Chains A and B, each alone.
Chain A
Amino acid sequence: MTFLKKTAASVLALSVMTGAAFAGDTIKVGVLHSLSGTMAISETTLKDTMLMLIEEQNAKGGLLGKQLEAVVVDPASDWPLFSEKARELISVHDVDVIFGNWTSVSRKSVLPVIEELNGLLFYPVQYEGEESSKNVFYTGAAPNQQAIPATDYFLEELGVEKFALLGTDYVYPRTTNNILKAYLQGKGVSDGDIFVNYTPFGHSDWSKIVADVVALGADGKKVGVISTINGDANIGFYKELAAAGISADDIPVVAFSVGEEELSGLDTSNLVGHLAAWNYFQSADTEVNEAFVAKWKETMGEERVTNDPMEAHYIGFNMWVNAATAADTTDVDAVRTAMYGQEFGNLTGGTAVMLPNHHLAKPVLIGEIQDDGQFDIISQTDEVAGDAWTDFLPESSVLKSDWKDLGCGMYNTTTQTCVQTLSNY
C-alpha cells in the first residue's frame, strides 16, 4: 500500500516533464538535490521530504487554489551541474521556488544564477555563514545557532580547556573553525590549546589522529573535540574512537554534522554520551514531531529516521506556503516581502521566525548519543536569531544583513554604507 502510494507520488511528481499541458494549472516547486554521486547519501532524504510535504499540501487543497507540482532534477553531486540545473529550473521549467542544495560549494555555484534570474532558494543545511543573498532563505543553522552554543556548553558545562577542532577539508569546517578559534581566543583560551586538523572527504584511517587527540591531555587540561567531520568519514572516526576506549566523560566529542541519519550506519553502543548540536532531534518530545516522524516512517519505511535539515525544509516549505498565501501570488519579490516576520511552529516546540537577514530564529539543542542511535536532548536554549555575519571575526563583525529595511545583505555599520548587494561567490 505504502509502496503503491510512493510510486504514485513519484510518478505524479516526475510527470512534469511530459505533461506541459498542465503548466498553467499548477504551481511548480523545484527540488534541486543530488540523487546520485557522493552527496546522494544525504540529499536523497531531502528530496523525499519535499515530495512528502508537497503531497501533504496538495491533500490539503494545494496553494492559491492550484495544485503544487514538484520538478525534481538530479545535479549528481557535480557542482557546476548545480548551476546548470538551477538555470534550467528557473528559465525552462518556470518554477516559482527551489528547495535544494546541501554543500556550501553547491550553494555558491547556484548563487550567481539565482541572483541573475531573480529566483528563490530555500537552503536547509547548517552552514558557515558569511553570506547573505537576496534570493536565498537560509533555514539551516548559522554558526551562532550551532557552533557557538555548543562551544559555550563545552566551556561552561563540561569545563573543557583544550580544544581539538577536527574537520573535513572544505569551506564549512574551515570557516566554522576560524570563527571558533577567534571566539575561544576571546574567551581566554590560548593558541597552544587549540589543535586543528583537516582530513579529506571519506577519510577512513583515523588511528593516528585519535592518538594525537588523546595525547593532548598530557598537560593536565580537560580536552574536548569539536567535530565538523562530514558524511561517511564519521563512521571510521567513531569506530576508531570506540576502539580506543575513549569515553565521553574523558574526552567529549560534539559533532555538527552527525545526525540520526549518519548514526544509522553505526553501532552506537560504544559512543553513548558523545554529543551533537542541532536545531532538531528526532527524539524531541512534542506532538507535532510525533506526527511528523510517524508520517515519515509511514511514507519511507519503519527503519528511516528524521533529521535536522528535514525540519529546516519542513519549516521553510510551510513558511513559503504561508507567505505565498499572504501575498496571494507566487511572484518572487512579493513572496520575499511576505516572508519577513513569518512564524511557523518548530517540531521541537516554540516558533521559528523569519528575520530580515533571511535567517531563522530557532532554538539550539544539544543531545547525547544513546545506544539506540537516537539523541537524548540534554539542553535546549530559547530561540537564537541566526546571524549572517559572525560577530567574532573582525572583518565580519561590522557587517550586517537587512533585506527588509536597508535592502542590503552586506551593510557596513561603521561606515554606514552598503558594501555590495550581490553576494560573494
Chain B
Amino acid sequence: MRTSFIAKYPSVLVFLLALASFTIIVTILSEGFGIGVISTSFIKTLGKTLCLCLIAVAMDLVWGFAGILSLGHFAFFGLGGYMIGMWLMYERTRLIVTEALMQGQIPPTGSEVIDSIGSQIFGVVGSNEFPLIWTFADSLGLQLLLVVLVPGILALVFGWLAFRSRVTGVYLSILTQAMTLALALYLFQNDSGLRGNNGLSGLQNLPGVEAPQSIVSMWFFLASAMALGLGYSLAAWIVSGKFGSVLRGIRDNETRVRFLGYSVEGFKLAIFTLTACIAAIAGALYYPQAGIINPAEIVPIASIYLAVWVAIGGRGRLYGAVIGAGFVSLISTWFTGGKAPDIPLGFYTIKWVDWWLVLLGLSFVGVTLFAPKGIGGLFDLMKKRRARHEHTS
C-alpha cells in the first residue's frame, strides 16, 4: 500500500526532501540552534508560513480535489488556536498567580487560586469568573484533544446539515462564509468567554519554560515543519487511493458519482471534517508563534485569502497549495515590512505600503484569467516541454 501510493505520487518524496533540506538549512542559519544569520523574528515568520502551508494543503484537499470551495476553513484554524491558547494562558497565569499568593502569610485555598487566575485573565473584559468553556483549560492533554475535537465537531455538524440538504457550489461557499462570520461575531462579544476582541495573548511564552524565544521559536519551527510533512503525506496518501478517486469524481460530476451508488454526502462530509481537523492542528501550531489570537483572525476575508493562495499556487496539486501559501504570505511580509524600496517617478513616489494591496488584488485577476492552473501550472509546462523535447529527439 505504502509503496503503491508513493509510486502513484512520486512528488511526495521530492517534497519531503525539499522540506527536510529547507528545515536543516534554516536550523543551521538560525539564532537559536545555529550560526545566527536568520533572526528569531524571521524564524517565527517562517514557522508561521509552514503552518499556513499546512492549512493550504487542507484547503487544496477540500477544494482542489473534492470541489468544495469552503470559505470558512480559517474558522477551524482559529478554533484550534483558541483551544491551545486557553491552556497556554491558563497555565502561565496559574504559575504567576500561585507564586504571588504563596508570598502571602497563609497558603491560598484552591478557590482563591482559581479566583485570582480568573481575575487576571478576564480582568480586561471586566469579569473574573471562568466561563464553562474553560472547564478543561487546566489540562494540557484534554485541551490538545479539544484542538481537534471542537473544530472537528463543528465541521461535522455544519457539513452534515449543508450536504444533507444538497447545498452546493457557490451557495455552499456563501454559507461557509456566513459560518465563519457568525463565529467571528460571536467571539467578538465580550460575553463569549474568550476575552472578546482582545482574544488570548502572550501565547509565545510557554508556561514553565525558561528557554529564550530564539530556542522556543525553533521548537515551533521544527514542529511546524514536521506537521507539514505529515499532513502533506497524509493528503497525498488520501488522494492517491480509491477515496481520492471518488473525491475527484464528485468534483467533476457529482450526479454521476451518486448514480454509481456512492454516498456522495458521506465522502464530502468525511473530507470536510478531516480537513477541518488538519486546519485546527495548523492553527494550534500557528498561534503560539504569532503570540496572540483574536476574532479578527477568522473574519471571512482570511478564508478568502486562503482560497486565493491555493488558486495562485495551483489547485488540484498539493505542492501548488504549499507554493501558493508560502509565496504569497512571505512576499506580503516583505512588502508590509517596509523593506521594499520605493520607486520615485519624479511627480509621484510609489510607496509599496500603499500599492502592494492593489498589486496583490490585480494579480488574483491575472492568475485566474491567464494562469488558471497557478504557479504549479509552470511545472506542467516544463514537464510537457521536456516530454516534447524527448519525443522530438
Contact = CB atoms under 8 A, between A and B. Distances in A.
A79 B357 CA distance: 18
A74 B124 contact: no
A80 B342 contact: no
B245 interface: no
Contacts of B255: none
Nearest to A92: B39
Interface in B50-109: 93, 96, 100, 103-104
A167 to B, nearest CB: 10
Contacts of A7: 344, 349
Interface string B331-347: 00000111111101000
A10 B100 contact: no
Interface stretch (A103-111, A277-285, A352-360): A103-111
Interface string A58-76: 0000000000000111111
Chain A: interface residue count, which band?
35 or more
B168 interface: no
Interface stretch (A11-19, A186-194, A233-241): A11-19
Given A79-B199, A80-B293, A424 B120 contact: yes
Contact of B197 (A80, A113, A170, A178): A170
A88 B201 contact: no
B124 A171 contact: yes
A405 interface: no
Given A108-B198, A112-B202, A170-B196, A79 B294 contact: yes
Given A10-B351, A35-B353, A80-B290, A105 B338 contact: no
Contact of A80 (B123, B190, B292): B292
B319 interface: no
A420 B336 contact: no
Interface string A269-304: 000000000000000000000000000000000000
Interface string A377-402: 00000000000000000010000000
B296 A72 contact: no
Contact of A83 (B39, B190, B290): B290
B125 interface: yes
Given A17-B339, A169-B197, A83 B128 contact: no
Contacts of B196: 169-171, 174
A104 B197 CA distance: 10
A81 B123 CA distance: 24
Contact of A87 (B41, B123, B201, B336): B41
Interface string B346-368: 00010101100100000000000
B39, B100, B196, B201, most chain A CB atoms within 10 A: B201
Chain B: interface residue count, which band?
35 or more
Interface in A255-274: none
Interface of A is mostly: helix
B42, B93, B119, B353, most chain A CB atoms within 10 A: B353
Contact of B292 (A16, A79, A169): A79
Given A87-B44, A171-B124, A200 B349 contact: no
Contacts of B205: 112, 116
A105 B349 CA distance: 33
A88 B120 CA distance: 29
A78 B353 CA distance: 14
A419 interface: yes
A74 B336 contact: yes
A197 B199 CA distance: 20
B337 A85 contact: yes
B124 A175 contact: yes
Given A73-B338, A79-B294, A108 B201 contact: yes
B204 interface: yes
Contacts of B349: 7, 10-11
Contact of A112 (B41, B120, B291, B338): B291
B190 A198 contact: yes
Contact of B337 (A73, A79, A178, A424): A73
Interface string A78-104: 111101110110011000000000001
Contact of A425 (B40, B41, B45, B202): B202
A78 to B, nearest CB: 7
A48 interface: no
B198 A420 contact: no
B190 A108 contact: no
A113 B349 CA distance: 33
B224 to A, nearest CB: 15
B336 to A, nearest CB: 5
Given A87-B44, A169-B190, A71 B202 contact: no
Nearest to A170: B197
B293 A200 contact: no
B45 to A, nearest CB: 7
26 contacts: A11-B344, A16-B338, A17-B338, A78-B296, A79-B292, A80-B292, A80-B293, A83-B290, A83-B291, A83-B292, A87-B40, A91-B40, A91-B41, A108-B201, A111-B201, A112-B204, A112-B291, A116-B205, A116-B213, A170-B190, A170-B196, A170-B197, A178-B126, A417-B103, A424-B123, A425-B201
Given A169-B189, A169-B197, 16 more contacts: A10-B342, A18-B341, A73-B336, A83-B292, A84-B45, A87-B40, A91-B39, A91-B40, A105-B199, A108-B202, A112-B291, A130-B123, A170-B198, A171-B197, A175-B124, A417-B104
Interface of B: 39-42, 44-45, 93, 96, 100, 103-104, 119-120, 123-126, 128, 185, 188-190, 196-199, 201-202, 204-205, 213, 287, 290-294, 296-297, 336-342, 344, 349, 351, 353-354, 357
The 3 closest A-B pairs by CB, nearest first: A425-B202, A80-B290, A170-B197
